[in-house]
Structure 1
């Protein structure tokens, strides 16, 4: 009996060692072998860390993400959440880099904390936050909602206020861009898209904030007329590209291009380069906005929203896209019609980005397992 038990122990140990050797080979493949990254959207499926407007930044061997925390529409939210991941798949909360509960009563930016972003520029981490002051008369802080700038030496903070509000009117969805000559620029939304040059050290705009694109710009396509927001700028081969989102037909991402960081901007593609379209989603907005007449086909994905994107460095060292994915309650096969608790809430989605012949492309929204070799 003892010999049988010893045999079983040795057998189990040998199998475990073999499995461990295979696992190690997958983690550290031999020279010439490819790395394999597998992902299935939505990446997060958790009500506790649900966010909109995901913005991911890679620092060392880790990825960090911030975004708009719930509640989004009904009033103030808890602050600016920072998520952390070692593998881009499993995410956990690191901290609140702005905790609304710890702000003084007279704080002028204690509102909804929409669409924060973190950018590493000139050896520091700059955080843009869009917020206003909540009062009895203005319970959502929308009358004073604008852009605030914070800075830290580490991505995890602590973040110190540089200046704000940066603009004299309602603005939202602020983003930053540093050019090759060291000049920095602020872009934001607010019933259109805005731009200005900014000195990050003092948090002051060096040019007047300029609205350069309206959602109903004459001669521009109808898929923009519901609203445009969420700019994000990168530079490639001497051309500036601005990604932006529109909610006219669901939630889609368009792309502008320019030879200058302050324009003039033109469409890089006559159609959105990414997103989801659903005729039955938010029809009341289409009726109210006067664009229910638009004709289009639903995309086959199970999402009602895939938008407000930002780019980041992915596992293969290339650019990837991040944004929030929301499941569509009238989604087609193979899903049942009953939503799980996490599904009506915005969750993180990621896709690879490619650049070819002077144009950026984003993999269409996926919902089955994807494999990337590099």
Structure 2
């Protein structure tokens, strides 16, 4: 009898410790799997000002300002740009547009790929908008060729940061430009126009925003340094259609990008309104997204938007710095960051605050493991 009791006790002990071992193993495996597949942290790349992303046929196409060339990234996981395929798709050869290539965007329109960007010949006052074209199904194939310089007004005023969007069967372009050539003060405004096709305007440009509010006019840096002249900034406009289609929002950047005060503002128009009527647009009185000193994030701006792979979530992609201004020895430290945005009951976006780079964020829903 004692022998039987001993054997039973031994079996129970072995079973007990085996269960503990299995429990720990399963728990650890689950935690490891979640850690490996479900999160990301910002920034997405060490450096990358003016980030842009487009989700098309299950892939993300990404670009940012490189200065002397245009580079395209391709990935199925936008939060994993560090391991994405990349390709230089265009190097300028014409001296008139070979300098300061800014804010490239790639769009798929009428079965072709178009890349919009701004550049000049060495004098920033001569910045103009250009568009490249590629008729291959995969923009990594074939060749991007110069389609046109986009003339935005008869006087060829300074123009940068073009973005294209379709609304109710019409193609529109929004951008940042000057009303007249700079003399001693530079004032960047937001314009909109209809497009005849992806490279020609189909209407006159219409001004929908000027930097008139105090938070849009900060150009003096925290150390007291300033550019060579006064600069008031509205730039980097990005369309954002509300979930129900009730509003067309335009999110734009304001104040100097070299300062920590660079922030995002918002213009909103009823979707049924005439988008070419300046009175259709209402400007938010305060920034909708700005620096967060408590989180160590400064100079938040020049954004774009993208959907999660399953189309259920909206994300903002923006650049920012970890310091109030660029350290002289490091040069441009603006880097691309992403975070989820929400919507309120009135169809207005809720951006929250820029999150610290140490925070683990859940990957966009539908991202492949």
Pick which of 355-364 and 250-259 moved more.
Answer: 355-364
> In the alignment, what sits opposite 2:171?
184
Distance (Å, rounded) in 1 between the aligned partners of 2:277 and 2:89: 33
CA contact 2:289–2:353 (8 Å) conserved in 1: yes
TM-score (norm 2): 0.71
Distance (Å, rounded) in 1 between the aligned partners of 2:125 and 2:85: 31
> In the alignment, what sits opposite 1:86?
76
> In the alignment, what sits opposite 1:311?
305
Distance (Å, rounded) in 2 between the aligned partners of 1:155 and 1:238: 33
Q: 1:316 to 1:36 in 2, by over 3 A?
A: farther
Distance (Å, rounded) in 2 between the aligned partners of 1:353 and 1:36: 21
Number of residue-to-residue matches in the alignment: 295
TM-score (norm 1): 0.70
The question of 1:223 aligning with 2:215 is answered: yes
> In the alignment, what sits opposite 1:321?
316
Q: CA deviation at 1:315?
A: 4.2
Deviation sequence 1:63-109 (CA, Å, 0-9, x none): 2211112xxxxxxx321121233322322451112123xx2xx4532
Distance (Å, rounded) in 1 between the aligned partners of 2:128 and 2:304: 20
Equivalent residue of 1:108, what SS?
helix
Equivalent residue of 2:291, what SS?
strand
Q: CA deviation at 1:117?
A: 0.8
The question of 1:272 aligning with 2:287 is answered: yes
Distance (Å, rounded) in 2 between the aligned partners of 1:150 and 1:79: 13
> In the alignment, what sits opposite 1:262?
276
> In the alignment, what sits opposite 1:52?
49
Q: 1:275 to 1:146 in 2, by over 3 A?
A: same
The question of 1:166 aligning with 2:151 is answered: yes
> In the alignment, what sits opposite 2:91?
99
CA contact 1:326–1:343 (8 Å) conserved in 2: no
Structure that is richer in helix per residue: 2
The partner residue of 1:348 within 314, 331, 336 is 336
CA contact 1:36–1:373 (8 Å) conserved in 2: no
Q: CA deviation at 1:205?
A: 0.9
Q: CA deviation at 1:319?
A: 1.8
Equivalent residue of 2:79, what SS?
coil
Equivalent residue of 2:215, what SS?
helix
CA contact 2:58–2:309 (8 Å) conserved in 1: no
The question of 1:205 aligning with 2:201 is answered: yes
Q: 1:306 to 1:22 in 2, by over 3 A?
A: same
CA contact 2:238–2:250 (8 Å) conserved in 1: yes
- Larger of the two Rg values belongs to structure: 2
Could you tell me which runs of 5 or more consecutive residues in structure 1 were left unpaired when the two chains were aligned: 1-14, 28-34, 70-76, 135-139, 278-298, 332-338
> In the alignment, what sits opposite 1:238?
246
> In the alignment, what sits opposite 1:296?
none
> In the alignment, what sits opposite 1:194?
191
Distance (Å, rounded) in 2 between the aligned partners of 1:56 and 1:121: 15
Describe how 1:67-82 pairs up with structure 2 within 5 A: 67-69=64-66, 77-82=67-72
Deviation sequence 1:290-325 (CA, Å, 0-9, x none): xxxxxxxxx412122111011112245222111112
The partner residue of 2:350 within 347, 355, 361 is 361
